[in-house]
Amino acid sequence: MSRLPLQRRTLALLAVVLPLLALFIYVVLRSGPLAPVAVTVATAEQRSITPALFGIGTVEARTTYHVGPTVSGRVLRLSVEVGDRVTAGQVLGEMDAVDFDERLRAQAAAVQRAQAALKDAQARQQQAQTQATRYAELLAVRATSEEIATARQQDLASANAALAGSQAEVARLRAEQEALRTQRGQLRLRAPADALVTARLAEPGSTVVPGQAVVDLVDPNSLWVNVRFDQTSAAGLAAGLPAQVLLRSDVGAPLAARVLRVEPLADAVTEETLAKVVLASLPTPLPPLGTLAEVTIHLPELAAAPTIPNAALRRVDGKMGVWELGADGLRFAPLVLGQADLDGQVQVHSGLAEGARIVVYSEKELTARSNTHVVDRIVKGAP
Amino acid sequence: MISLAGRDILHAWGKFVFTGIGLGLLIGVTLTMAGVYRGMVDDGRALLDNSGADIWVVQQGTLGPYAEPSSLNDSTWRSLRALPGVQDAANVTYLTMQVQRLAGNGSAADAAGTARAASDVRAMVVGIAPGGSGTPGWPPYLVAGRQLTRSHYEAVADIASGLALGERIQIRRNVYTVVGLTRRMVSSGGDPMVFIPLKDAQAAQFLRDNDALWQSRHRTAANPAFNRPGVPGLLDAVIASQSSNPSVNAVLVRVRPGHDAEEVAASIQRWQRLTATTRAQMEDILVGKLIATSAKQIGMFLAILALVSAAIVAFIIYTLTLGKIREIAVLKLIGTKNRTIAGMIVQQALGLGLIGFVVGKISATLMAPAFPKYVLLVPEDTAMGLAAILAICVLASGVAIRAALRVDPAEAVGG
């Protein structure tokens, strides 16, 4: 047996076994508890942020008119359709008059009768007046008894009262006639203002009660967005702040808007603060009422302060803070945090020295004893 | 003294090494299988760790949000928050569902309804209460992106879901943008988690679909009790009350330092009449009950694989020994001791086992990330595996030793 083949064999064996061993050692060190945790680091930068609030709301109309009859009745006809624009005073429809005209005629007859009764009372009063005067003159010359003269005086008083009663009766019947006429006029449903028809709630032939709406109108110029903000993120919300509205029906075009008012009443059930946001200009066509909208409100820019990404925040032993990567390893730094913006930047009030290296992302949850190894990024392709 | 085993191995090293690698792949599968089991247990623990809770408060008489459905009023947290010993309480909802990935991120396309689902991801959608990172239920750490800042339509997804930053996903009727990625945030079944704001999650879980809403509205309108003439507004009120469902699955409670979780849980059970489960009990439920059957299944596989490995090692050593039976006879003829021959075979078996172990460990570690479910390779398992392999090798070489010792030295000159 020559030495060369043996050597070659040994070499070949080593060529297989040694890489295997090296790979093994690498694998043991790079996986399991011995492996270092990949982390990315950042330094707290002095910068100013523009906090913003985010809420969702629905497009609503500030002014809504529910037009309906003042008396029970049947709808005779409706002349407007949903979507129609109407002007103030325009007749939208009419209620069925049913017996109104007959009642008006009856009322007119009653007035005539009362007027006839009034004439009769006038005649009687004149007669009583004449008699009373005559007997008064007779009594002056002692040509009649005082008793008779007093009786005539009393007749005159009665005739005066009857006349006043008749006059009042005429006035009453006239007023009732007026009331009926007015009610007859109210059977026409008129638009109270320039508006847009949003609903026809009853159709001709249906019976409605007072207070029930037949046609719903809204003032299209009074559109606003009723926005709800989660109470934890509603700090700084105030009237007049600029806002951006993204309608669900058109997410491509953000609309400029501003906060009209913050409602003094918050929703206690949903734990939300409510605000009204008005659009700077109305889009055409108008968004349907009830459309969902995302609203972003821009708060004033804050003064520059150390700022960290919110991904760096951890909670350790009940305290919020970050893992600071010093020369001697990891140290947990509890922080007092300030405001944050929607891009996830948080201002730090205290707890962090400027320029401190902090862990932003980590492959695993960290502890003070974690062995770390700094990388550019943990997820491939992530910025 | 020269090493007989070494010499023999060198003589046919190719055969030896490749047999070892073959065996190693088998051992790799065994280690991976053990890793799958550990991974399942770890999935359960990860779920509990990541929620950041000390006590899970759920509907009375249920086993908690992971094992059984539970429904609580979403204002329950307020009464819990006021209890002594409670540091923090937050609502949470869990719903395992298919999350649709939307092709592209053209928002205009979504609005036009032309967006098609590129593919579905099975995920556990977690609704987390607003409050910022550190609130119970929030992912404790990220590997990319940022935590949720808006109270609607944002999502933080586990990296196992395959979602990327900026990707748009659809959960029920709303479209969400992925703003952050986490790692190892999984359900007890190993499904990746997708975190979305609580209000959206409530809508996704409890709000019915449009068809159901329409049908329910018509049904209510057809019911004369709810649609009375002369009572305008009654129908609207009834419908509004039907279409809201302020429920959550659980309230996560964090205990104030210095208080005993058991005591706080007992107080919640007694006075709030809800089921409160502590961390230890939850682990018992998850590991003990939820994955018990799967664990047995994997244990069965492990046993079979160990048996197969033993049989293969025995068979290989036996074949190798039979292959050099003539040489062994010569050795015997020149008066080699039985112990030396047995030692040679045992050494070869151990060598085979070691190569197998090394290859197995490497392949298991390299294969593990490729598995769809989490595979956790614990060093103790590896050590136990090494001991088991060596024991199996020694035992398996018994048959070969017996065959070698029974060789008649005369065969060396006979044949």
B24 to chain A: closest CA residue:
A20
Interface test with B, best of A56, A228, A320 (most B CBs within 10 A): A56
Q: Contact A294/B141, CB-based, under 8 Å?
A: no
B13 to chain A: closest CA residue:
A13
A185 touches chain B (CB under 8 A): no
Q: Contact A20/B377, CB-based, under 8 Å?
A: no
Element spanning B27, H or E: helix B13-51
With a CB cutoff of 8 Å and minimum separation 6, the contacts of A126 are none
Interface of A with B in 61-80 (CB under 8 A): none
Q: Contact B144/A377, CB-based, under 8 Å?
A: yes
Distance CA B68, CA B59 (A): 10
Residues from chain A that touch B153, judged by Cβ atoms under 8 A, are: 56, 294
Distance CA A94, CA B139 (A): 63
B283 touches chain A (CB under 8 A): no
Strand-strand pairing, B154-158 and B193-197: antiparallel
Residues from chain A that touch B378, judged by Cβ atoms under 8 A, are: 32
Q: Contact B149/A343, CB-based, under 8 Å?
A: yes
Distance CA A146, CA A152 (A): 10
A210 touches chain B (CB under 8 A): no
Instruction: Spell out the domain ranges in chain B.
Output: 2-43+292-412, 60-207+245-273
The shortest CB-CB distance from B151 to any of A233, A252, A378 is to A233
The two tokens of residue A297 are 């409100």
| Residue B301, phi then psi, degrees to nearest 5 | -60, -45
Residues comprising chain A, all counted: 383
Distance CA A221, CA B407 (A): 107
Distance CA B126, CA B124 (A): 6
Q: What is the DSSP letter of B163?
A: -
DSSP E strand stretches across B51-191:
55-58, 72-73, 86-102, 117-128, 144-145, 154-158, 168-171, 174-182
Distance CA A315, CA A245 (A): 34
> What pLDDT score was predicted for residue A383?
58
pLDDT over threshold 90, residue B217: no
CB A335 within 8 A of CB A323: no
pLDDT tens per residue across all 383 residues of chain A: 445 556 777 787 777 778 888 888 887 776 666 677 888 888 888 888 888 888 888 999 888 898 888 888 888 888 999 888 999 989 888 888 778 889 899 999 999 999 999 999 999 999 999 999 999 999 999 888 889 999 999 999 999 999 999 999 999 999 999 998 888 888 888 899 999 998 888 888 888 888 788 899 998 888 899 999 888 878 888 899 999 998 888 777 888 999 999 999 988 877 889 999 999 888 888 888 888 888 999 888 888 888 888 888 888 877 888 888 887 778 888 888 888 888 888 888 888 877 788 888 888 888 877 778 888 887 776 65
B52 to chain A: closest CA residue:
A315
> What pLDDT score was predicted for residue B414?
64
Residues from chain A that touch B52, judged by Cβ atoms under 8 A, are: 315
Distance CA A318, CA B175 (A): 34
> What pLDDT score was predicted for residue B118?
56
Residues from chain B that touch A31, judged by Cβ atoms under 8 A, are: 365, 368, 377
Distance CA B213, CA A298 (A): 36
Q: Amino acid identity, residue A367?
A: T
Q: Contact B134/A320, CB-based, under 8 Å?
A: yes
Looking up tokens 């043996």, which residue turns up? A6
Residues from chain B that touch A6, judged by Cβ atoms under 8 A, are: 10
Range in A350-354, B102-106, B409-413 the model is least confident about: B102-106
Distance CA B394, CA B331 (A): 22
End-to-end CA distance of chain B: 29
Element spanning A145, H or E: none
Strand-strand pairing, B72-73 and B247-248: antiparallel
Strand-strand pairing, A250-262 and B154-158: unpaired
Q: Contact A16/B246, CB-based, under 8 Å?
A: no
pLDDT one-digit tens code per residue, B6-15: 677 767 777 7
Q: Contact B365/A317, CB-based, under 8 Å?
A: no
Cα torsion through A273, A279, A284, A290, rounded to 10 = 10
Q: Contact B143/A378, CB-based, under 8 Å?
A: yes
pLDDT one-digit tens code per residue, B125-157: 999 988 777 788 888 888 888 888 888 889 999
Residues from chain B that touch A314, judged by Cβ atoms under 8 A, are: 133-134, 140-141
Give DSSP secondary structure letters for A208-240.
Answer: E-TT--SEEEE-GGGEEEEEEEEGGG-TT--TT
Give DSSP secondary structure letters for A170-214.
Answer: HHHHHHHHHHHHHHHHHTEEE-SSSEEEEEE-S-TT-EE-TT--S
CB B393 within 8 A of CB B351: no
Helix (H), strand (E) counts: chain B: 13, 12
Interface of A with B in 323-352 (CB under 8 A): 340-344
> What pLDDT score was predicted for residue A1?
45
Q: Is the N-terminal amide bond of A285 cis, ω within 30° of 0?
A: yes
B256 to chain A: closest CA residue:
A318
B116 touches chain A (CB under 8 A): no
Cα distances (Å, whole numbers) of residue B135 to B4, B61, B65, B127, B272: 66, 26, 18, 12, 22
Q: How far is A167 from chain B (nearest CA, A)?
A: 41
Other Cβ atoms within 10 Å of B341 Cβ, number: 19
Q: How far is B180 from chain A (nearest CA, A)?
A: 8
> What pLDDT score was predicted for residue B111?
41
pLDDT one-digit tens code per residue, B313-345: 788 888 888 887 888 888 888 888 888 888 888
SS3 B42: helix
CB B139 within 8 A of CB B156: yes
pLDDT one-digit tens code per residue, B250-299: 899 998 888 888 999 998 888 888 899 998 888 888 887 777 888 888 88
Per-residue confidence band for B1, with pLDDT thresholds at 50, 70 and 90: very low
Distance CA A152, CA A154 (A): 5
> What pLDDT score was predicted for residue B155?
92
Q: Amino acid identity, residue A39?
A: V
Strand partners, A292: A58
Angle between helices B325-333 and B338-367 (to 10 degrees): 150
The two tokens of residue A284 are 């055409």
Distance CA B334, CA B28 (A): 41
SS3 A359: strand
Q: Contact B183/A212, CB-based, under 8 Å?
A: no
Global pTM reads 0.77
Distance CA B150, CA B170 (A): 17
Interface of B with A in 358-387 (CB under 8 A): 358-359, 361-362, 365-366, 368, 377-379, 382
Closest Cα partner for A359 from A342, A348, A347, A375?
A375
Distance CA A326, CA B386 (A): 39
Q: Contact B108/A251, CB-based, under 8 Å?
A: yes
Higher model confidence: residue B348 or residue B290?
Answer: B348
Q: Contact B140/A365, CB-based, under 8 Å?
A: yes
Please state the rounded mean pLDDT for residues B153-174: 87
A229 to chain B: closest CA residue:
B151
Closest Cα partner for A214 from A197, A226, A227?
A197
> What pLDDT score was predicted for residue A171?
94
> What pLDDT score was predicted for residue B117?
46
Looking up tokens 């003032």, which residue turns up? A219
> What pLDDT score was predicted for residue A5?
57
Per-residue confidence band for B240, with pLDDT thresholds at 50, 70 and 90: confident
The shortest CB-CB distance from A251 to any of B107, B180, B361 is to B107
